[in-house]
Amino acid sequence: MESRRERGKGTRKHVPRSAHVAVGNVERDPVELLEINSAGRVERLVPLRYGRMIESPFTFYRGSAIIQAHDLAGTPNSDLPIQICGDCHLANFGGFASPERSLLFDLNDFDETSLGPWEWDLKRLTASFVVAGRHLRHKRGVIDDLVYRVVRSYQERMATYAGMGILDTWYDCITFERLMAETPSSQIRQRLERGIARATKRASEALLPKLSERVGERWVIRDAPPAIFHLHGQNTLFSPDDDWMKIDDAGKALDKSFEEYLGTLSPDRRQLLSHFTRHDAAFKVVGVGSVGTRCLIILMIDKHGKPLFLQSKQATQSVVARYFKSPPVTHEGRRVVEGQRLMQAASDVFLGWNNGPSGRHFYLRQLRDMKLSPEIELMDHELLGRFAALCGWVLARAHAKASGMALEISGYLGNSDAMADALLAYSNAYADQVERDYDVFVGACRSGR
């Protein structure tokens, strides 16, 4: 064990912790990188993507993971590559249901997951707190404290995982009940209780009347353009020359893809889904960075009339893999699913992958199963600080579980604030860069570039 810890500590000789102040390859055109990232998306939805990104420097940051991955490729790294999230900003943390119906707090989306330096996730997370903190007009001291809380929490929790057996690390999960038991604040416990109550109302059954209506014997998803529309309906945003618009029998094509998806599930999950019948499917725009990629929601009903909403989401090359040498990927949807299963404490029972029409890669999961998203604009300084520490804990758990390298990472981090000091300097400098990139982006949008 000590030799492994010393390996991590020894890496400091080649890459001292102070080296992480570097912001990387920032002599580039951010708009050009975004255009590369938008290639292959539904053309009429790209303006919607940019419209969501233009709202603030933070929404721009959320939608521009490719820019930071490009920049980080020019920074020193600890030479301890592991499975990373790849898009680890603060809004990618939240609550969702475990298969046992406990409400977990964990990382949510893994579209960019790949092999990469563990500190890239930590840097994206700390910088996101600075960018968001500035947007919310918090004072410099408050924002600096958020960075320290993230890094210290990550560091302390990683040291704890370094002393645990790998099975204990795999079994560890952060539930809302656990958070309630560990917090001394009655105010925060009340917030958590309200969060649990809200989450229980966000399952498929509650979504059914919101997203669909009964037409004869079937349930049909309601169009709500531009967010939701049927591919071949009057509200479609697909251009007539799109290859999906040329499919003769969309239902048959969907059946074929769904059968392929079922083949990626375990027999018990396939048996479970056999009790459902597909009623409808529609295109649904999601998120910020994902807008314009192909994403469907599929409405299924069981023999008792109970619904299940599945989301089928296009998976493209990870932005991390574009800039950090990774093993070859044969299927991008499988990459997402396997990365998610590695990093999350517990994953959706319906996670699987398939090929869509024209050979694009997809992964499938439940839509919004008791999902809770952080509302940082409603948090006071203390609650935001606790949230920052919680994100650091979650990331440490995910890295420790996925890599089995908690000893090495903990050895590199050590016990001092050396890494926290470096990441504070990095995050402030990179937030400055984000704001400059945002101004360039806004100018490009207004000029019609």
- pLDDT average, residue stretch 312-339: 97
Predicted pLDDT of residue 375: 87
Q: What is the pTM of this model?
A: 0.95
416-431, pLDDT tens digit by residue? 999 999 999 999 999 9
Residue 398, both tokens: 């995910």
Collapsed DSSP state (helix, strand, coil) of residue 242: coil
- What is the three-class DSSP state of 413? helix
pLDDT at 249 over 90: no
pLDDT of residue 251: 85
Statement: residue 370 has pLDDT above 90: no
Give the pLDDT of residue 9. Answer: 92
3-class secondary structure, 116: strand
- Using 50, 70 and 90 to split pLDDT, how confident is the model at 69? very high
Determine the average pLDDT of the residues in 258-283.
97
Q: How many CB atoms lie within 10 A of CB 171?
A: 12
Q: Which pair of structure tokens corresponds to residue 17?
A: 């912790």
d(CA 371, CA 313): 17
What is the SS3 assignment for 25? coil
How much is the pLDDT for 181?
85
Residue pair 62/89 in contact by the 8 Å Cβ criterion? yes
Pairing assessment for the beta strands 228-229 and 276-284 based on DSSP bridges: antiparallel
Q: Which residue has the tokens 């404490």?
A: 345
Q: Comparing C-alpha atoms, which of 443, 373, 403 is closest to residue 106?
A: 373
The answer, yes or no, to whether residue 264 has pLDDT greater than 80, is yes
CB 110 within 8 A of CB 85: yes
pLDDT digits (tens, 9 = 90+) for 86-128: 999 999 999 998 988 889 999 999 999 999 999 999 999 999 9
Rg (CA), the chain: 22
